[in-house]
Amino acid sequence: MIKISPSIISADLADLRATLRALENGGADMIHFDLEDGSFVPALGLGARIIQAARPLTGLPFDVHLMVQNPEWLIPELAGFGANRVAVHYEACPYPRRMLGLIAGLGMQAGLAFNPATPVPPLQFCRPFLSFVVVLTTEPEGKGCPSFLPSVLAQVTQGRAQAGLEGVEWAVDGGVTPENARQVCQAGAQVLVAGRGVFQGGTIAENIAGLRAQGQAGEAEYSHARN
CATH number for 117: 3.20.20.70
Instruction: Give the pLDDT confidence of 159-207 residue by residue, as tens digits.
Output: 999 999 999 999 999 999 999 999 999 999 999 999 999 999 889 999 9
Residue scoring higher pLDDT (37 or 7): 7
Q: Determine contact, residues 197/164, Cβ cutoff 8 Å.
A: no
Please give the pLDDT value at position 210.
Answer: 98
Q: Closest Cα partner for 31 from 60, 9, 53, 72?
A: 60
CB contact burial 157-195 (16+ within 10 A = b; e otherwise): bebbeeeebeebbbbbbbbbbbebbbbbbbbbbbbbbbb
Separation between Cα atoms, residue 206 and residue 27, nearest integer Å: 10
Residues with catalytic roles: 34, 173
Note down the domain range covering 107: 3-225
Rg of the Cα trace of the chain? 16
Query: Per the structure, how many domains does the chain have?
Result: 1
Over 90: is that where the pLDDT of 141 sits?
no
Please give the pLDDT value at position 207.
Answer: 98
Query: Among 107-121, 128-142, 179-193, which is the least confidently predicted range?
Result: 128-142
- Record the pTM: 0.96
Please give the pLDDT value at position 142.
Answer: 55
Between strands 109-114 and 85-89, the pairing is: parallel
Query: Phi-psi region for residue 147, left (φ > 0), alpha (ψ -120 to 50) or beta?
Result: beta
Q: Closest Cα partner for 64 from 19, 144, 50, 96?
A: 50
